[in-house]
Amino acid sequence: MIERFGWRFAESFAELTEVKHLAALYDVHGGQPPEPNIRALAKQASMKLRTALILADMEGHLPSMNRLDSAIGGVGPMPLGNLAQAIMHTLGGVRDDLQHHRFFHVDLADVGLYNDTVPFGEKVSRKFPKAIEDIAEAAKCLSFQSQRPLFFTLCG
């Protein structure tokens, strides 16, 4: 979750929220939206959210995503009120579930240590070949140690 999925959730939530607002706006005012554009934006955002859910092992939301995709790709004129409701339902469920997940941040200065496959050098890796994976995992742990408490960074 650390380096790959946070942005996917943020981006897909922003795009689906935009579609929801557009759908609600056109539904309330009775205007004809540029429907293909709304469908395309909704489909793209839905695919991003689906990817984020799969990568975060949150497949329990896939049935809701399937219902959302049906509302997006329906035949004939899109019932915009129904689409806005489907988006609200889907995002609400994912948001509720995300309250039980934890996201962590690696300081920019420590990203190299987090990503390095031989963090203590080739010499150490050659000397301890059976410990290469453990050494890399230890480096990941070290990358999470903050030099300054977050409170002091924000307030001090």
Q: Which is nearest to 73 in space by CA: 36, 27, 109?
A: 36
Handedness of CA 98, 101, 106, 112 (dihedral sign): negative
Of 93, 22, 13, nearest in space to 46 by CA: 13
Structure tokens at 80: 């915009």
Q: What are phi and psi of 8, to 5 degrees?
A: -65, -40
What is the Cα–Cα distance from 12 to 5, expressed in whole angstroms? 11
Confidence of residue 15 (pLDDT cuts 50, 70, 90): very high
Task: Please name which of 89, 95, 115, 116 lies closest in space to residue 52, comparing C-alpha atoms.
Answer: 95
Instruction: List pLDDT tens digits, range 81-115.
Output: 778 888 999 999 998 988 887 777 777 888 888 88
pLDDT digit string (tens) for 64-87?
999 888 888 766 565 677 788 889
Which pTM value belongs to this model? 0.65
Q: What is the pLDDT of residues 32-47, one digit of tens each?
A: 555 667 888 889 999 9
